[in-house]
């Protein structure tokens, strides 16, 4: 039987015995078009003028070009595309999946840092390439020597640094933690120093506050920096009573920095001094 390509109109002789009752899919060897050939209907015996259908055995009409058909017996045509194209698709989707997972990881890590959650996990990730510039500054903590040369028998616990946005002053950097009193007696007037450093360990900013006063997230958002500094700079609460840490007990602290230098990379916290409760200062 004569078959004509639906795309380039090239004609072919095709052995109809190779076509099943449901037809067959073939591919034009000239233009690579894939099209379906239906099964031939029953016809009377061909006359002598009928063109032979067994391609390659009985010749071909003079006006037909010498191209072949790729015959697929039944079913759908096989998907086209070279091995290089398939490899590119696999590579592309693998790379895209890795990039999406990386972005989700980094986004989640930054969110944890901004919300001051899981500080231990965040600190472990700071040394990953390119991560430190996206996170709040890392910190170190240490004890210090009190006035008079006596060692301050206290420890810093659960210290973490994080950013907050203030409606009046923009971005703030907060250092927050807890002081463990290792003295048997109650202590008060506990001074804590915080320092902001650049990559070369140069001190960019420092502040000294009294342990005790802390701010809620709403206060960090709405209070003025001046009001925060007044509260952090006083050893007494609004009722006039001193902030006291009991013997072997703990007391919170918070240091607030505004107008941040752009090159901050690290922070340091130190306990500067404390006094026994009821002790008189010189001049009193």
Residues 153 and 267 grouped into a single domain = yes
Instruction: State which of 90, 108, 135 marks the end of a domain.
Output: 135
N-terminal to C-terminal alpha carbon distance within the chain:
120
> Per the structure, how many domains does the chain have?
3
Question: 């390119």: which residue's tokens?
Answer: 130
- Three-state SS for 211? coil
Q: Would you say residue 171 has pLDDT above 80?
A: yes
User: 19 lies in which domain range?
Assistant: 1-78
Instruction: State which of 78, 97, 123 marks the end of a domain.
Output: 78
- Segment 86-99 mean pLDDT: 86
- Segment 135-142 mean pLDDT: 59
Question: 């009377």: which residue's tokens?
Answer: 44
Q: Give the residue, 129 or 173, on which the prediction is more confident.
A: 173
Q: What's the whole-number average pLDDT of the chain?
A: 78
Instruction: State which of 102, 119, 135 marks the end of a domain.
Output: 135
Strand positions, DSSP E, the chain? 2-4, 11-13, 24-28, 34-37, 69-72, 138-142, 154-166, 170-181, 187-197, 203-210, 244-245, 250-257, 266-276
Per-residue pLDDT, 191: 95
CB atoms within 10 A of CB 80: 9
- Segment 88-110 mean pLDDT: 86
Residues 141 and 263 grouped into a single domain = yes
Integer Cα distance of 281 and 275 in angstroms: 9
Q: Could you report the per-residue pLDDT of 1-56, keeping only the tens digit for each? A: 788 888 888 888 777 777 777 777 788 878 888 888 787 764 444 444 433 334 44
Decide if 119 is inside a domain.
Answer: yes
Per-residue pLDDT, 232: 97
* pLDDT over 70, % of the chain: 71
Distances from the Cα of 284 to the Cα of 191, 279, 280, angstroms: 20, 10, 6
- Segment 177-195 mean pLDDT: 94
Integer Cα distance of 21 and 14 in angstroms: 15
Per-residue pLDDT, 48: 41
pTM, entire model = 0.54
User: Do residues 253 and 192 make contact, with C-beta atoms less than 8 angstroms apart?
Assistant: yes
User: Do residues 252 and 174 make contact, with C-beta atoms less than 8 angstroms apart?
Assistant: no
Residues 153 and 230 grouped into a single domain = yes
Integer Cα distance of 191 and 272 in angstroms: 5
Per-residue pLDDT, 126: 62
Residues 170 and 221 grouped into a single domain = yes
Integer Cα distance of 27 and 17 in angstroms: 17
Q: Could you report the per-residue pLDDT of 209-264, keeping only the tens digit for each? A: 999 999 999 999 999 999 999 999 999 998 999 999 999 999 999 999 999 988 88
Residues 226 and 149 grouped into a single domain = yes
Per-residue pLDDT, 154: 93
Q: Could you report the per-residue pLDDT of 190-209, keeping only the tens digit for each? A: 999 999 999 898 999 999 99
Decide if 11 is inside a domain.
Answer: yes
Nearest-CA neighbor of 194 among 177, 181, 182, 180?
Answer: 177
User: Do residues 177 and 269 make contact, with C-beta atoms less than 8 angstroms apart?
Assistant: yes
Per-residue pLDDT, 15: 75
Residues 35 and 66 grouped into a single domain = yes
Residues 119 and 240 grouped into a single domain = no
- Who contacts 154 (Cβ-Cβ below 8 Å, separation ≥6)? 143, 179, 180, 181, 182, 183, 187, 190, 271, 274
Per-residue pLDDT, 34: 82
Per-residue pLDDT, 12: 80
Structure tokens at 190: 């506990």
Q: Give the residue, 263 or 69, on which the prediction is more confident.
A: 263
Q: Which residues pair with 157 in a beta bridge?
A: 178
The full DSSP string for 224-261 is -HHHHHHHHT-SB-TTSPBPEE-TT-EEEEEEEE-S--
Q: Would you say residue 79 has pLDDT above 60?
A: no
């Amino acid at each position: 039987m004569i078959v004509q390509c639906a795309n380039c109109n090239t004609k072919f002789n095709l052995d109809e015995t190779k076509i099943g009752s449901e037809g067959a899919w073939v591919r034009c060897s000239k233009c690579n078009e894939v099209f379906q050939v239906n099964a031939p209907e029953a016809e009377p015996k061909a006359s002598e003028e009928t063109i032979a259908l067994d391609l390659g055995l009985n010749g071909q009409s003079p006006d037909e070009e010498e191209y072949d058909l790729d015959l697929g017996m039944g079913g759908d045509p096989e998907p086209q595309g070279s091995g290089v194209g398939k490899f590119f698709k696999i590579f592309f989707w693998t790379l895209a999946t890795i990039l999406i997972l990386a972005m989700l990881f980094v986004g989640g890590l930054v969110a944890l840092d901004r919300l001051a959650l899981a500080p231990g996990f965040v600190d472990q990730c700071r040394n990953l390439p390119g991560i430190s510039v996206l996170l709040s500054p890392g910190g170190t903590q240490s004890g210090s020597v009190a006035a008079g040369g006596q060692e301050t028998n206290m420890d810093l616990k659960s210290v973490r640094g994080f950013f907050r946005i203030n409606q009046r002053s923009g971005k703030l950097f907060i250092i927050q933690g807890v002081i463990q009193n290792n003295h048997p007696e109650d202590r008060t007037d506990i001074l804590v120093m915080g320092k902001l450093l650049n990559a070369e360990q140069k001190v960019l900013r420092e502040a000294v506050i009294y342990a005790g006063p802390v701010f809620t997230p709403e206060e960090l958002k709405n209070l003025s920096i001046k009001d925060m500094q007044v509260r952090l700079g006083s050893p007494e609460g609004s009722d006039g009573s001193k902030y006291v840490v009991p013997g072997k007990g703990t007391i919170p602290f918070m240091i607030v920095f505004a107008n941040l230098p752009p090159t901050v990379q690290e922070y340091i916290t130190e306990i500067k001094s404390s006094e026994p409760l009821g002790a008189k200062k010189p001049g009193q």
